[in-house]
Amino acid sequence: MTTELEIEPTKYGLSLHTTTPELGLAISNFAGDTRSDVWNLERNVSSLMHEYLINFIKPQTWADLAFIAVAKGPGGFTGTRIGVVTARTLGQQLNIPVFAISTLAAIAYSQGNKNGTLIAVQMPAQRGQVFAAIYQHSPDASGLISLLPDTVFTPEAWQQKLANSNTTYQLIEAKSGLAATVTDVLELAYLDFQQGKRPDWSQALPYYGQHPVDL
C-alpha cells in the first residue's frame, strides 16, 4: 500500500549533475522505470543543458516530476552554479522539493556499504588544496552519515586528519567520471524523500568551498 512517504508510481524524481565538464541526468519512478545518461559537453554545458534535459525526460513531462535532485558541489564554479540554478528554477516553477546533494556524498554512496567502514573522499581543489569529507553508510540503509562535512584542506592538513582518525577507512580519490554518480544523487534524494523531507527550492544552495578567483 502506498504511504505518503513513498513516491507514486506515476511520479518521478529527476537528478542533475553539472559540477564537471560532463552533464549527468537520471530519472526514476523507483518502481522499475529508471534511466540515466552522461554527456561530455565541456564548455558547452551552459548552452546545451536545457536542450539535453528537455529531450531526456521524454516520454515523461514536467508534470510527472515529484522532486528534483542536484549535485551542489564541490566542483567547477560555473557548472555547479548552472546546475543548482536550473534545479531551483524547476522546483519553483513546478512547486516541488529540490534536494541539493554533495558531490562528495554521491561518490561515497556509490561505493556501497562496506560493513560500516568509513569512506574518506577527496578531490582536487584550486590553488593546490583539496576538497574532502568523511561519510559512513547508515546502519538502517537510510542514507549516509556525515562524519566530516565537505571541507577545504591543504594536502598536509587532510593527511593529518586521516592519520588522526584512528580507525579503518576507505580512501576515494575523485578525479574523473563524477557525473556518473548522478544516479547516486537521485538515490540519496529519494532516501530523504522517503523520510518525509520536502526542502523548498530556496534551500538548494551551491557549495563552492573556495572563491573562483584569488582575492
Question: pLDDT tens-digit profile of 23-62?
Answer: 999 999 999 999 999 999 988 988 899 999 999 999 999 9
pLDDT tier for residue 212 given thresholds of 50, 70 and 90: low
Average pLDDT over residues 111-136: 90
Task: Give the dihedral sign, CA 209/206/81/69.
Answer: positive
Q: Look at residue 3 and tell me if it is in a domain.
A: no
Could you tell me if 120 and 104 are in contact, meaning their C-beta atoms sit under 8 angstroms apart? no
Domain count, the chain: 2
**Is 176 in a helix, a strand, or coil?**
coil
Q: 61 vs 8, 11, 44, 159, 188, CA distance in Å?
A: 15, 10, 24, 47, 22
199/149 same-domain check: no
Q: Quick one: 19 exposed, middle or buried, by C-beta within 10 A (0-12, 13-18, 19+)?
A: buried
pLDDT tier for residue 8 given thresholds of 50, 70 and 90: confident
111/167 same-domain check: yes
130/168 same-domain check: yes
**Is 146 in a helix, a strand, or coil?**
strand
36/84 same-domain check: yes
- The model's pTM: 0.92
73/32 same-domain check: yes
What is the spatial distance between Cα 128 and Cα 144, in angstroms, rounded to a whole number? 28
Q: What per-residue confidence (pLDDT) applies to 172? A: 94
63/124 same-domain check: no
92/190 same-domain check: yes
**Is 16 in a helix, a strand, or coil?**
strand
Write the CATH number for 93. 3.30.420.40
Structural domain boundaries enclosing 80: 12-103+176-203
